[in-house]
Amino acid sequence: MPAAAAPSPLGVELRWMRKLAGLTGKHAADLMGISQVAVSRWETGARHPDLDSVEALRRVAAETVSGILAGAGLSDAERRQLSEGYERLTSEDYQLLLSRLVDDGATEVLSTFVITRTGLVERQEEIHRLEMQAQKIRHFQPLFAPGQLQTLEYARYLMLGYEKDPRKAEEAAMARVRRVEVILKGPRPEYHVVITESALDVTFRGAPPDLRLGLLRQIYDGAQRPHITVQIMPRDRPYGLVPIGSFVSYDIGNDDSVVLADTFAAQVTFRSGRDVRQYNTFWDELTEIALDPEESLNWLAEAIRESEGN
């Protein structure tokens, strides 16, 4: 039988709070008005609680410990242990620690190796489902053409960089193009992308000379649709924050947002408010630096004319 997974740092703290107060999982759950299963899953790391739930358990534990301390029959050692625990429970530093653990637990890392082994088609379908939940998508792409606006031929060459089996690469490219068709059709989700000039210069070994031209035309066509906004970042624009990778922010609604960031070795999903706000700040600066949408359309038109002349 495989060993059980170790509890998360947040799960350790939740269990400590409950144990300090002398509460069983059922008693703690009853006081909070939730199920015992939920408390158990939080402590083992099988489920990740939100900050309101963690704060509710902290208050229940603090109130219970306070009641015990007000009573009689405690030994000096027990009173000292409970007093120290109560002081920690009610301190601002501990509440800040819990908040950070909740935020950190909302971050998921999926390695590129796992994505490739599981299947690129499956990953495209997962992202498509996320896109369909979103009201608005904000995308920064400094590495290559954005997946939501790629042509089929471009997607084929890109997928071959991840998957050496031509059949599987073709299936992944087709899955990506199905996403492109939905984004282009609209009217939801709204799609706003900032693309660096160098990203549009990326080419692939063995690619035909007109690959870039077809891509530019696709992006230009998309940029003229009312629900799609394209901004180009020329090479000579000065950055304040250094853009070291691409990211996509999905605004789901009701103040719920998810950010998917790419690195060489993994895709990282951020759901905590702290992380989402950092990416929002980055996004605001990028859109200020980039050409505005009208200027970007003119830039694309000129790039198309230059490519047609080559």
Domain boundary among 74, 105, 136: 105
Residue 201 DSSP symbol: G
Contact 131, 179 (CB under 8 A): yes
Measured from the Cβ of residue 3, the count of other Cβ atoms closer than 10 Å reads 5
If pLDDT is split at 50, 70 and 90, which confidence band does 112 have?
Answer: confident
Does 140 share its domain with 27?
A: no
* Residue 212 domain flag: yes
Residue 5 DSSP symbol: P
Q: Has residue 82 got a pLDDT over 50?
A: yes
Collect all residues with Cβ–Cβ distance below 8 Å to 243 and sequence separation of at least 6. Answer: 140, 142, 196, 282, 286
Rg of the Cα atoms in the chain: 25
pLDDT for the residue numbered 2: 37
CA distances (Å), 272 to each of 43, 101, 278, 293, 308, in order?
Answer: 19, 10, 10, 30, 46
Residues 301 and 303: their CA atoms lie apart, in Å, by 5
Domain boundary among 105, 121, 155: 105
Does 155 share its domain with 142?
A: yes
In tens, the pLDDT along 121-140 reads 999 999 999 999 999 999 99
Domain boundary among 105, 127, 144: 105
* Residue 3 domain flag: no
pLDDT for the residue numbered 66: 96
> What domain count does the chain have?
2
**Continuous segment of H or E residues that includes residue 77:** helix 76-89
Does 192 share its domain with 117?
A: yes
In tens, the pLDDT along 145-180 reads 999 999 999 999 999 988 889 999 999 999 999 999
Q: Has residue 263 got a pLDDT over 90?
A: no
pLDDT for the residue numbered 192: 98
pLDDT for the residue numbered 1: 36
Q: What backbone torsions phi and psi does residue 6 show, to the nearest 5 degrees?
A: -70, 140
Does 218 share its domain with 284?
A: yes
Does 262 share its domain with 221?
A: yes
E strand residue ranges, 153-210: 190-196
Residues 114 and 266: their CA atoms lie apart, in Å, by 9
If pLDDT is split at 50, 70 and 90, which confidence band does 105 have?
Answer: confident
Q: Has residue 303 got a pLDDT over 60?
A: yes
Does 154 share its domain with 57?
A: no
Domain with 94, as residue range(s), is 9-105
The closest of 213, 281, 222, 217 to 247, measured between CA atoms, is 281
Average the pLDDT over each of 45-59, 71-85, 213-227 and give the range with the smallest value: 45-59
* Residue 71 domain flag: yes
Average pLDDT of 224-248? 90
Does 204 share its domain with 85?
A: no
* Residue 170 domain flag: yes
The closest of 149, 148, 160 to 216, measured between CA atoms, is 149
Question: What CATH number is attached to the domain comprising 62?
Answer: 1.10.260
Q: What letters, b where the CB count within 10 A reaches 16 and e where it falls short, cover 23-61?
A: bebebbbebeebeeebbbebbbbeebbebebbebbbebb
Residues 103 and 122: their CA atoms lie apart, in Å, by 27
**Continuous segment of H or E residues that includes residue 294:** helix 293-309
Does 166 share its domain with 154?
A: yes
Contact 200, 250 (CB under 8 A): no
pLDDT for the residue numbered 44: 87
Place of tokens 């693309």: 195
Q: Has residue 264 got a pLDDT over 90?
A: no
pLDDT for the residue numbered 196: 96
Does 144 share its domain with 262?
A: yes
Does 90 share its domain with 136?
A: no
**Continuous segment of H or E residues that includes residue 229:** strand 228-233
**Continuous segment of H or E residues that includes residue 27:** helix 25-32
Q: Has residue 243 got a pLDDT over 80?
A: no
Q: Has residue 108 got a pLDDT over 90?
A: no
* Residue 157 domain flag: yes
Q: Has residue 102 got a pLDDT over 90?
A: no
Measured from the Cβ of residue 238, the count of other Cβ atoms closer than 10 Å reads 5
Does 84 share its domain with 112?
A: no
* Residue 151 domain flag: yes
Cis amide linkage into residue 189, ω under 30° from 0: yes
Does 141 share its domain with 14?
A: no
In tens, the pLDDT along 195-216 reads 999 999 999 999 999 999 999 9
